[in-house]
Chains A and B, each alone.
Chain A
Amino acid sequence: MLEYKKEISLVLLRDTLRIRMIESRLAELYAEYEMRCPTHFSLGQEAVAVGVCHHLKKQELITSAHRSHAHYLAKGGSLKKMVAELYGKKTGCATGKGGSMHLIDLDAGFLGAVPIVGSTIPIGVGASFSAYLQGENKLSVIFFGDAATETGAFYESLNFAAIHKLPVVMICENNLYSVMSPLSVRRPEGIKLSNIPQGFGVQSFHADGSDLEEIYQTAGQAIEYARSGKGPVFVEYINYRWLEHCGPLSDTHLGFRTEEDVINGKKKDPVRNYKDKLLKAGILTDSEFSKWEKEIAEEIQEAISFAKESPFPEKEQLLEHLFAA
């Protein structure tokens, strides 16, 4: 229990709840067929983003991959601009040119997210390397899934970051699946992802990605380690994807996991479990929680109205932004 800082526990829970509510609402609205872009929801996986980003300063950069909503939001990315981006509007965070798989919010220190698995790992290392070249120490945090540790880019990046002791924190969210492929077809049996970096002399951690406190504390240690100039760090968080890989529906009819598996996976609900814990400890009250829900629902509604009412980009923008001036 984060006894020493009750207010932090409350903020962690509220921020996680916020992402949960945003993702739930967007998943509902996706069925209207107005958000017309492939969308990988973060439902069930909200807590890692919150626990990690809570340690970061605004100017410290993060990168992410295809499943990036939670990271973007936890880092302080604009909700309105994210929703508008999903609706393909001119006011979106990428002017509509990106969609859910290509979020960006430079004001919030969100360098960018792209859906080619593994590709933002070296890019995130590069974001820290630029500071190194300029004689500074600047943290860069890279979020990716378990499948990204199968790419060559991951190993090559880990090696390079280790050579130069770059302050890079690699956050690997292991949700057990790559689309529908279980770890068993992608890894030798018994391999723990968090053991891999040790071969490169890289410090690593392993933690429960559904337990907000554990996430927060491990991330704190990892980030401290990197900031202090000792080199890159790798953290493996185990969590669970609630919805289908891409889209707002269930995927149990596809045979790779059962309804029961998902029910079991949802038992490790980071929001509900932490809420119960804080209620029991007398840190949180039901009325406080309801108040949050109400506030967040209003914020979401505002963002959705903003997105829906925003204009589409004009035809002329098609040819804009090919080269930088």
Chain B
Amino acid sequence: MSRELKFVEALQEAQDLCLERDPSVYVMGLGVSDGAAMFGSTKGLVEKYGPKRILDMPVSENAMTGVALGSALTGMRPIMVHLRLEFAMLAMDQIVNQAAKWHYMFGGQASVPMVIRMVVGRGWGQGAQHSQSLHSWFAHVPGLKVVLPATAYDAKGLLISAIEDNNPVIFIEHRWLYNMTDKVPKGMYRVPLGKSNVLLKGNDVTIAASSYATIEALNAAKELEKEGISIEIIDIRTINPLDEEPLLESVKKTGRLIVADIGWKHAGFAGEIVSRVVEKVYQYLKEPPIRITLPDVPTPTTRALSNFYYPLPSDIVSAVKKLLGKAAESKPDIKPEDFLDVPYLEFRGPF
């Protein structure tokens, strides 16, 4: 049975189902049980499971991540939640030095079934410290699984898989996805970690993307379809481990690759995708691949600059045309005062 659910509701439902089934699952994070409930993603959980399993905590991210890890080593399945990805950075020792390593470092005797949910902020002047997409960082560390859902269906199925996985999973949620809806079945279902998804079938150009960039790619593809250009979208829902097969198959077919990423360009995830394609199916490429990413500067707060910081679907459209040797259309006339800092005009937060 399917119904339309918001991305945020799908996240909530995934946690609810896992909490219900498995008493070792618990949720911890700043504000998980408050009236705003992590933008709604933990709504109703404290009422149902109590403050012991839906645990608010001191502003002590580093230690609390260690506590979560220690509990994961000894029978629990913590879900740690951060309202902004940046807050998890205070816990980099526990995440990178510890959680990522304990299974390997102790010869497979220990395992860390732990999920760390992190929200990537965007818009309304989130600025340099409330907007970073550092999935490439986490993906660089062997031992961490890194998941970035783009649809509500995947959000639920991937989160359930992440909670049931016996490894530390970094689960990255873009804030602008939260209100987007999708058909989401009731009850338990799993979307496997480490599987890319052919979200849209097409023949002319392959776009590899994840998280919110996948949605932008879909929007671009819709535009291009009107002109008879057919796009194939590979949604890289898990960036570590990376399932490259659908990507390589697609490029073999189209010969043209665009990678759209929500992160920075230098030493980033988009570069990794291009490398894989070049290493493995170089001979099929008709044109050099194009990366559409953030420019390599911190996020500016004023919309007068952030309007030019975030790529738009029209940038993807132009890149596609370039790869196809078609006349690039004139760039949209973006003004500093335009309200590109909201997912849709009526949106008033919370951010």
Contact = CB atoms under 8 A, between A and B. Distances in A.
Interface of A: 33, 36-38, 88-89, 92, 94, 96-102, 114-118, 147-148, 150-152, 178-181, 185-187, 246-247, 251, 253-256, 312-315, 317-319, 322
A175 to B, nearest CB: 14
A312 B337 CA distance: 8
Contacts of A317: 300, 305
Given A37-B125, A180-B34, A186 B57 contact: yes
A89 to B, nearest CB: 7
A88 B86 contact: no
A206 to B, nearest CB: 20
Contacts of B349: 247
A27 to B, nearest CB: 15
A36 B303 contact: yes
Nearest to A116: B129
A56 to B, nearest CB: 26
B176 to A, nearest CB: 15
B59 A117 contact: yes
Contacts of B36: 180, 254
20 contacts: A36-B124, A37-B301, A38-B125, A88-B301, A97-B301, A115-B129, A147-B58, A150-B58, A150-B60, A152-B62, A180-B35, A185-B51, A186-B57, A186-B58, A256-B35, A313-B300, A314-B336, A315-B308, A317-B305, A318-B300
A94 B129 CA distance: 14
Contacts of A247: 349-350
Contacts of A319: 295, 297
Nearest to B32: A181
Interface of B: 30-31, 34-36, 51, 56-60, 62-63, 86-87, 90, 124-130, 295-297, 300-305, 308-309, 336-337, 341, 348-351
Best-surrounded residue of A37, A151, A247 (most CB of chain B within 10 A)? A37
A71 to B, nearest CB: 18
Contacts, number: 133
A98 B86 contact: no
A96 B86 contact: no
Contacts of B351: 38
B302 A89 contact: yes
Contacts of A38: 124-126, 130, 351
Given A114-B129, A150-B60, A179 B34 contact: yes
Contacts of B30: 178-179, 181
Nearest to A246: B350
A178 B62 CA distance: 17
B301 A179 contact: no
Most buried by B among A117, A152, A318: A318
A159 B304 CA distance: 43
A179 B63 contact: no
Q: Top 4 closest A-B pairs, CB basis?
A: A37-B125, A254-B35, A88-B302, A312-B304
A36 B341 contact: yes
Given A96-B302, A152-B60, 16 more contacts: A37-B127, A37-B302, A38-B351, A88-B301, A97-B127, A98-B128, A101-B127, A101-B129, A179-B30, A179-B34, A180-B36, A254-B35, A255-B34, A314-B336, A319-B297, A322-B296
Contacts of A314: 336
A119 to B, nearest CB: 8
Contacts of A255: 34-35
A94 B309 CA distance: 17
A123 to B, nearest CB: 13
Contact of A88 (B31, B58, B126, B303): B303
